[in-house]
Amino acid sequence: MPKYAFKIEYDGKPYHGWQRQPDVPSVQQTIEEALYKIAPEKPSIQGAGRTDAGVHATGQVAHAELIKSWDTERLLEALNFHLRPALISITQCQVVNEDFHARFSAIERRYKFRLVSRRSPVIVDSGWVWQVQRDLDIDLMRKGAEHLIGKHDFTTFRSSICQAKSPIKTLDEISIKEFNIEHGKEFEFTIRARSFLHNQVRSFVGTLERVGAKAWDHARVKEALLAVDRSACGPVCPPQGLYLAEVIYSSKVFT
Amino acid sequence: MPKYAFKIEYDGKPYHGWQRQPDVPSVQQTIEEALYKIAPEKPSIQGAGRTDAGVHATGQVAHAELIKSWDTERLLEALNFHLRPALISITQCQVVNEDFHARFSAIERRYKFRLVSRRSPVIVDSGWVWQVQRDLDIDLMRKGAEHLIGKHDFTTFRSSICQAKSPIKTLDEISIKEFNIEHGKEFEFTIRARSFLHNQVRSFVGTLERVGAKAWDHARVKEALLAVDRSACGPVCPPQGLYLAEVIYSSKVFT
């Protein structure tokens, strides 16, 4: 059966995360229901990243096997037609080899986190950033972030319900860019790793915000990491600033 | 009485424009009602630009005279407190001279328009851009825009209900930047003039989109301008990509 990979953009706010669950709306279920309209065999769709409730995506990847062979542009348009008015958009569609698996073939995931520091309420990006009213020091946040790069036991930055077999992961990048916005600042975090633990990115950003606000010394991030203890973590920040931005495979899937 | 200038950000979608009107919500009325909570004399607030229904602002300016003298930071916070949960935010507040008038003292207004060309529905910026599914040629749109720069009779690009005394205006800038977005392109228009006619920016962008889509030759923009005839205008584009970005005064009002 032909196999297709999809690149997917969504607004995380109305969904209880990517993964299908009983009784609550999920991104996976919403896409599968659109798929059933054009594929009566009711195929399932497998996503690369199981984003949490409220987390957005601009570059989620998923795959499905369909009985019928489709022109990829027509498949993309048919799915988007049946998805309406859901806050989900299929932005790309490609035929992939039968051994491709959106989740298990991925070699790296890139997340983006948007943190805004401003006194006045954010309106234009409301729901798309995490806003704090405190001033934040980017140099201190960068110093804190450096302690997290590399291969570590990330138990401190892992939710207690995380199902990963091992808490040992390799963090390839956690970098921060600063932009001036109207009477405030936006900090854009880029976080890259082969894979992530549950709540890992939000645990990082929530902790680094404490460093930027000078409530934590940057060295405390290293102490927290070495404690290998969930209770040493800073506050887990809310999901609305987080985006699954890209999933990378050993060969390019999308043009 | 002390006079205050405010810089204001808002989401245009829930409001029937800036200006107070009977029976429909407006930005002006919403801010005035917040103001009444802290100023029982019920001051009115005067805006620099009377944005239309659905048009956003990141840099609207307005002024009000209050009996009580306020610390500007406290006034800003009190107003934002009473504005909640309206989609309006006071981002700056300054004391101004008694001869300052947000509208009549302004020497230039800058609008931004965000136009996205992409096949798949826009999700992350839904409600904040005008999306078309066609490809657009930026070089052709720029050629079309050049015809509009300078002092002209803009009757063609003026709504039939426009109340301005004269259709003659001087357009200082209409420039376009292009950004790659996920599987599409965003075109950001910057449009500057001392003042604008009703629907002028949306008439420009709707017309230039026709040029970018190759439905209009760029020279037809000049013909339309010289026709001095509303019926020669291209389609007026929708408001959700339009932002009042900045109002400029002869001396700097905000820090």
Tally of domains within chain A: 2
pLDDT grade, residue A182 (50/70/90)? Answer: confident
pLDDT digits (tens, 9 = 90+) for A124-176: 999 999 999 999 999 999 999 999 999 999 999 999 888 899 999 999 999 99
Considering only the beta carbons, identify the residue of B84, B121, B182 that sits closest to A80: B121
> CA B250 to CA A9: how far, in whole Å?
44
pLDDT grade, residue A255 (50/70/90)? Answer: confident
pLDDT at B45 (0 to 100): 97
Domain span at residue A49?
Answer: 3-104
Q: With contacts defined as CB-CB under 8 Å, which chain B residues touch A92?
A: 183
pTM of the full predicted structure? 0.94
B9 & B77 share domain? yes
Residue of A nearest to B78 (CA): A120
Domain end: A76, A104, A132, which one? Answer: A104
B150 & B237 share domain? yes
Q: Are B203 and B167 in contact (CB under 8 A)?
A: no
Residue A248 forms beta bridges with which residues? A108
pLDDT at B182 (0 to 100): 85
In this structure, is residue A251 part of a structural domain?
no
Asked if B77 has any chain A CB less than 8 Å from its own CB, the reply is yes
In this structure, is residue B255 part of a structural domain?
no
Give me the mean pLDDT over the A97-123 stretch: 97
Can you give the three-state secondary structure of A168-195, one letter per residue? EEEEEEEEEEEEEECCEEEEEEEEEECC
Distance from CA of A141 to the nearest CA of B (A): 25
B188 & B82 share domain? no
Considering only the beta carbons, identify the residue of A9, A56, A183 that sits closest to B92: A183
A214 & A228 share domain? yes
Residue of B nearest to A85 (CA): B121
CB contact under 8 A, B58 and A90: no
pLDDT of B89 over the 90 cut: yes
Q: Please tell me what DSSP assigns to residue B246.
A: E
Considering only the beta carbons, identify the residue of B89, B121, B184 that sits closest to A120: B89
Inter-axis angle of helices B219-227 and B200-212, to 10 degrees?
A: 150
Residue of B nearest to A76 (CA): B120
> CA B156 to CA B232: how far, in whole Å?
6
Domain end: B104, B134, B160, which one? Answer: B104
Coil, strand, or helix at residue A125?
A: coil
Asked if B124 has any chain A CB less than 8 Å from its own CB, the reply is yes
B136 & B237 share domain? yes
Cβ within 8 Å of B, A 165-194? 182-184
CATH number of residue A21's parent domain = 3.30.70.580
CA dihedral over B220, B226, B232, B235, signed as positive or negative: positive
Asked if A84 has any chain B CB less than 8 Å from its own CB, the reply is yes
Asked if A72 has any chain B CB less than 8 Å from its own CB, the reply is no
Distance from CA of B132 to the nearest CA of A (A): 14
Domain end: B104, B136, B155, which one? Answer: B104
Q: With contacts defined as CB-CB under 8 Å, which chain A residues touch B83?
A: 121
Distance from CA of A73 to the nearest CA of B (A): 10
A31 & A78 share domain? yes
A230 & A113 share domain? yes
pLDDT digits (tens, 9 = 90+) for B91-138: 999 999 999 999 999 999 999 999 999 999 999 999 999 999 999 999
For the residues of A11-50, what is the DSSP string, one character each?
A: -STTSS-SS-BTTB--HHHHHHHHHHTT-TT----EES--
> CA B19 to CA A16: how far, in whole Å?
39
Considering only the beta carbons, identify the residue of B9, B59, B124 that sits closest to A56: B124
Written as six digits, the tokens of B38 are: 């802290």
pLDDT digits (tens, 9 = 90+) for A90-102: 999 999 999 999 9
B63 & B152 share domain? no
A17 & A136 share domain? no
CATH number of residue A211's parent domain = 3.30.70.660
Asked if B134 has any chain A CB less than 8 Å from its own CB, the reply is no
pLDDT digits (tens, 9 = 90+) for A189-223: 999 999 999 999 999 999 999 999 999 999 999 99
